[in-house]
Structure 1
Amino acid sequence: MKLLQKILEANDVTDWLIALGIFVAVPVAVLIARYAGARLFAALSRRTGVAWGDAVTEMLRGTSLMLFVPIAAYAASLSLTLPAGVERFAALAAIAALLLQVALWGNRTIGFWLRHRVAIARATDPDGATALSLIGFGARLLLWIFVVLLALDQFGFNITALLAGLGVGGIAVALATQNILSDLFASLSIILDKPFVVGDFIVVDNLRGNVERVGVKTTRIRSLDGELLVFSNADLLRSRIHNYQRMTERRVLFTVGVVYQTPNEKVGRITQWLREAVEAQDGTRFDRAHFKEYGDSALVFEVVYYVLTRDYNTFMDVQQAINLAIFARFAREGVDFAYPTRTLYIAGGAVAQTAS
């Protein structure tokens, strides 16, 4: 009460009216500037197509009238005679509010830039969108750290000693959060090294699916059954990853066995039949066909060809068509496929029995 009485006695009515006018004028001026500036830069952006106009508009929309109340109070206090302690408190409150407002403006600007760049990157470079998200996170973190340190310096804290203490404490924090940091660095490795990107079909151990999102800590994969698989980034990089999205063609190797009773002249033509069956299909490249070996129950032929697509369904359609063509050709030529058989010879007799 004595402090209030002292302040009242030190200032006359005119001083208080001037202070009141300043206190009201500052928020009103900010409100008008925010509204007029947003409309002006929005119109400028529409007319010129320049993105920075939208950025300024977005920044102005982040203006908080509540934060300008302590700033207005400090401006009003300059017209009054106040004790040193009250003046110091008003100044610190105004500085804190101003720094917080600057941080909000910076946060809005970073957010606008990030949304703009990510929208472009998603159409051209999906993994670039993830990289931009991490860059945006880092930029926001640095912004707030800078603002907090600046505020602490204004409040009289020894920033040098504080940073030295944080250096020691940082070691303890790093040990406590080593798993989180491991996942963070793993996500950076995924983004920079690009073993896969969003949209790729990958197989991790016995799990497979399409990559939906690469985050700061986890990677999300949509399985073929529709389940959402969530992998820790560090665990994912420690696994063997098969990326089928990067292939441009699929190599196929298979064997065909025919019975030993096949006539010699037909055995010599089988490799040509196999080649024709492969080359008759579009999107294939024949490599080779050979009479490989004498099997236990069959004459074994080995065929190698390539399907010139990474699409699995197309690959299976081509393989099915080739298999049907081979089956039809062998049936037409009177060549029988072999299957495991056993022939029993009865001692002292002429009877033989064959069992499959």
Structure 2
Amino acid sequence: MNYTLWNNDLLAWSIAAGIALAAFLLLYAARKLLVTRIAAFAAHTTTWLDDLAAKVLAATHPLFMLALGLYAGSHWLTMPAKNEAMLSNLAIAALLLQMARWGDVAVHGWLHYYRVRRGGQDAASTTSTAALGFVARVLLWAIIALMILDNFGVNITTLVASLGIGGIAVALAMQNILGDLFSSLSIVLDKPFVVGDFITVDDFSGTVEYVGLKTTRIRGLGGEQIVFSNSDLLQSRIRNYKRMQTRRIVFGIGVVYEISKQQLLAIPGILREAVEAQPQAKFDRAHFKSYGASSLDFEVVYIVQTPDFGVYMDIQQAINIALFERFEQEGIGFAYPTQTVRLADSELRIARAPREEAATG
């Protein structure tokens, strides 16, 4: 007895099922073979691209391969043009969804590699690249969704226009949040600072603890946590002391006026010797700068060969002690603020006193 189902007999259905099964098994075996070969090759290389290729191929879903197998088997059947068009659209939709999955895995794998490679040098990369990856994946799936709708004959022009208008409204309502989000992306891409850097923003100083999607938090010198919005932070002047290579130090001393010319001329050399005695200090200059209100002022400039603040303070302390000892040996006194008050009336009376005594005598 010859049974027919949807204008196809049992033999046609059997052949179509066999083609679909064979295509599925062939695709499944090809995926497994390629993933195994690429993974074995990646184990002997240092590049990350082959590892990523293996992960992307491994993300090929069995349902996608089954859909392709069914589409291949359907060509053996006799179907109305409408049904053929529907199967073709479904196959294209399955391909687009699989492409979205490949792209999602590729983005996730690249971000993971970036975090592993930069994590030790840039601790802020974890949070920031997560934000960047989220935006990239949302855009990817949105584009794939629009392509699938267009494949099924939906007029996406109106939809895109509506989304554009709605997006503008949402952007206006959330402009502060979106501004902080894009500022976060700017921080990760431009890297003005990373977690662990010591920075100064306006009158606030501290160590960066966290860089988020909306805020950045630093630990102040007093132990308090200071929170900045990312937009405000990038609009401010930021001083990043962690990226200093050397420190240029300028300091001054004052000596008393009651010194000789020889002592005055010897002071720049004494200052130079005190600085050059420090291994990590490079002498720049020392000059008699000016006549102060109560002192002869000298200015010294030197370069500390390390950005470490503790090392700088140790050097400055050693210089100060050396100057104290040397000035004591040379008989040079350090100046301190003094004022001399002269009373004109008292001086006049003292000058008149001998004359008055002579007149009365």
TM-score (norm. length: structure 2): 0.73
User: Given the alignment of the two structures, is residue 273 of structure 1 paired with residue 270 of structure 2, yes or no?
Assistant: yes
Spell out the pairing of 1:284-295 with structure 2 (5 A cutoff).
284-290=282-288, 292-295=290-293
One-letter amino acid matched to 1:201: F
Task: Please give the alpha-carbon distance, in whole angstroms, between the structure 2 residues aligned to 1:131 and 1:85.
Answer: 48
Among 159, 179, 201, the residue aligned to 1:204 = 201
Whether contact under 8 Å (1:68, 1:98) holds in the other structure is no
1:170 corresponds to = 167
Whether contact under 8 Å (1:274, 1:289) holds in the other structure is no
Task: Please give the alpha-carbon distance, in whole angstroms, between the structure 2 residues aligned to 1:322 and 1:20.
Answer: 91
Query: What secondary structure, in the 3-state scheme, does the structure 2 residue paired with 1:269 have?
Result: helix
Residues 9 and 240 (structure 1 numbering): CA distance in 2 closer, same or farther, change over 3 Å?
closer
Among 30, 34, 44, the residue aligned to 2:31 = 34
Whether contact under 8 Å (1:70, 1:90) holds in the other structure is no
One-letter amino acid matched to 2:55: E
1:332 corresponds to = 329
Task: Please give the alpha-carbon distance, in whole angstroms, between the structure 1 residues aligned to 2:288 and 2:127.
Answer: 49
Residues 143 and 307 (structure 1 numbering): CA distance in 2 closer, same or farther, change over 3 Å?
same
User: Given the alignment of the two structures, is residue 143 of structure 1 paired with residue 143 of structure 2, yes or no?
Assistant: no
Task: Please give the alpha-carbon distance, in whole angstroms, between the structure 2 residues aligned to 1:43 and 1:128.
Answer: 30
Task: Please give the alpha-carbon distance, in whole angstroms, between the structure 1 residues aligned to 2:203 and 2:20.
Answer: 68
Which protein shows a greater Rg? Answer: 2
Spell out the pairing of 1:10-159 with structure 2 (5 A cutoff).
10-22=7-19, 24-46=21-43, 52-79=49-76, 91-116=88-113, 139-159=136-156
Query: What secondary structure, in the 3-state scheme, does the structure 2 residue paired with 1:203 have?
Result: strand
Residues 124 and 340 (structure 1 numbering): CA distance in 2 closer, same or farther, change over 3 Å?
closer
Structure 2: segments with no counterpart, 5+ residues: 351-361
Residues 98 and 229 (structure 1 numbering): CA distance in 2 closer, same or farther, change over 3 Å?
farther
Task: Please give the alpha-carbon distance, in whole angstroms, between the structure 1 residues aligned to 2:130 and 2:6.
Answer: 57
Deviates more, 1:310-319 or 1:48-57: 48-57
Structure 1: segments with no counterpart, 5+ residues: 1-5, 351-356
Q: Could you say what the CA RMSD is over the residues aligned between the two structures, in angstroms?
A: 4.4
Cα deviation digits, residues 145-192 of structure 1 (max 9, x gap): 331121010121112232333333332132123224323443565567
Task: Please give the alpha-carbon distance, in whole angstroms, between the structure 1 residues aligned to 2:43 and 2:134.
Answer: 29
Whether contact under 8 Å (2:129, 2:188) holds in the other structure is no
Residues 253 and 41 (structure 1 numbering): CA distance in 2 closer, same or farther, change over 3 Å?
closer
Residues 221 and 299 (structure 1 numbering): CA distance in 2 closer, same or farther, change over 3 Å?
same
User: Given the alignment of the two structures, is residue 312 of structure 1 paired with residue 346 of structure 2, yes or no?
Assistant: no
Identity of aligned residues (%): 48
Cα drift, residue 276 of structure 1? 2.0
Task: Please give the alpha-carbon distance, in whole angstroms, between the structure 2 residues aligned to 1:25 and 1:254.
Answer: 85
Whether contact under 8 Å (2:28, 2:65) holds in the other structure is no
Residues 345 and 222 (structure 1 numbering): CA distance in 2 closer, same or farther, change over 3 Å?
closer
Among 235, 258, 274, the residue aligned to 1:238 = 235
Residues 177 and 263 (structure 1 numbering): CA distance in 2 closer, same or farther, change over 3 Å?
same
Whether contact under 8 Å (2:128, 2:184) holds in the other structure is no
Deviates more, 1:205-214 or 1:278-287: 205-214
Residues 7 and 49 (structure 1 numbering): CA distance in 2 closer, same or farther, change over 3 Å?
farther
Residues 52 and 263 (structure 1 numbering): CA distance in 2 closer, same or farther, change over 3 Å?
closer
Residues 226 and 38 (structure 1 numbering): CA distance in 2 closer, same or farther, change over 3 Å?
farther
Residues 217 and 32 (structure 1 numbering): CA distance in 2 closer, same or farther, change over 3 Å?
farther
Task: Please give the alpha-carbon distance, in whole angstroms, between the structure 2 residues aligned to 1:36 and 1:55.
Answer: 16
One-letter amino acid matched to 2:327: F
Residues 192 and 109 (structure 1 numbering): CA distance in 2 closer, same or farther, change over 3 Å?
closer
Task: Please give the alpha-carbon distance, in whole angstroms, between the structure 2 residues aligned to 1:288 and 1:135.
Answer: 52
Whether contact under 8 Å (1:290, 1:303) holds in the other structure is no
Cα deviation digits, residues 204-227 of structure 1 (max 9, x gap): 134334557766655565666888
Query: What secondary structure, in the 3-state scheme, does the structure 2 residue paired with 1:257 have?
Result: strand
Cα deviation digits, residues 223-256 of structure 1 (max 9, x gap): 6688876543211112221122454432323232
Residues 345 and 225 (structure 1 numbering): CA distance in 2 closer, same or farther, change over 3 Å?
closer
